[in-house]
Amino acid sequence: MHFLDQAKIYLKSGAGGPGAVSFRREKYIEYGGPDGGNGGKGGDIVFEAVSGLNTLIDFRYKQHFKAARGAGGMGKQRTGAGADDLVIAVPVGTQILSEDKETVLADLTHAGQSLTMLHGGEGGRGNLSYKSATNRAPRQHQPGEPGEEMWVWLRLKLLADVGLVGMPNAGKSTFINQVTNTKAKVGNYAFTTLRPQLGVVQHRHREFVLADIPGLIEGAAEGAGIGDRFLGHIERCRVLLHLIDGDGDDPALAYRTVQQELEQYGAGLADKPQIVALNKADALDADLTDFIAGLLAEEGVKKVIPVSAASGKGVETLLDTLLDYLPEITATEQPEGVPLTDDAEGGESDEKPWSPI
């Protein structure tokens, strides 16, 4: 399935139905008079956030959404039927923006949340409503109010508890494959991840959502590499997991590069709690202590957790640390009263923390 996190669509609510011009004509009934009913109301445009969707790809193939018009009024004082609302299903975490992308009109952050974006036009008056003592046989009627219309942008910001960031080829895809059932593409070259990946981590009878975004390089804020457009998907995360390639030339420089891009992006990403993990630590041997010491010398780094995403060594310790930053129930869409599922056995791990210092 293709991933799409932005789409521009056209919306138009339904117009109201026209009022009827009708006169009562029945045998043996004298002076029947007007009996034209009013028109029905047009359909509204309603957005609803639903679970089970994590892309806006459906809006690539359909960009125009028009609600039905209300039915016209009829004789015998019958009012036209109102049109059904047009409900547009969007993923949880979708923002609705104005056409210029400057104003956020709505932010749908939980499943079942709905919003009426455009109201349908009211139905027109039939000639019965114009009857008066001085106007016994009116022929006036209203055609019904027109619907509202507008262009809007949809922007998806995935809901996740933990955001995974780092330079390209730091092993983020390998890590998310290790701790979730995600089948992310893994390759020995940069930018194997071209779109955000979501996975559910189950650990110690708890679960949380982990989001992996494409790697950041120097100048990403100016469009270098894939750029920083996918950073919006981790704006809602409670904590960031910064994965650093231990097999790189300078892990400290890699840390500073990503931090600089987070600061330039803004939206409070640089101020979020961060856990720093040194990946591929099983291949470092004697250099492990020096690399960890170099990272601890960086501003804001209080702890470095060495891990090996490929072998799983150190991953238990890292997940334990992540749980300290998350509330007891962290599934972003978990309904009240529904227990969290956990396919793995819980309890204490036999693995000892892997750290030389």
Summarize the annotated binding site as residue ranges.
Answer: 166-173, 191-195, 212-215, 279-282, 308-310
CB of 83 closer than 8 Å to CB of 118: no
Query: How far is Cα of residue 302 from the mean position of the Cα atoms in its chain?
Result: 32
Going by the annotation, the residues of the binding site for GTP are 166-173, 191-195, 212-215, 279-282, 308-310
CA angle 25/26/28 to nearest 5° reads: 125
Q: For 101-122, give one letter per residue: b (16+ CB within 10 A) or e.
A: eeeeebbbbebebbbebbbbbb
Type and span of the H or E element at 154: strand 149-156
Q: How deeply is 39 buried, as exposed, middle or buried, from its count of CB atoms within 10 A (0-12, 13-18, 19+)?
A: buried
Binding site feature residues for Mg(2+): 173, 193
User: CA-to-CA distance for 195 and 322, rounded, in angstroms?
Assistant: 23
- The rounded distance, in Å, linking the Cα atoms of 151 and 212 is 31
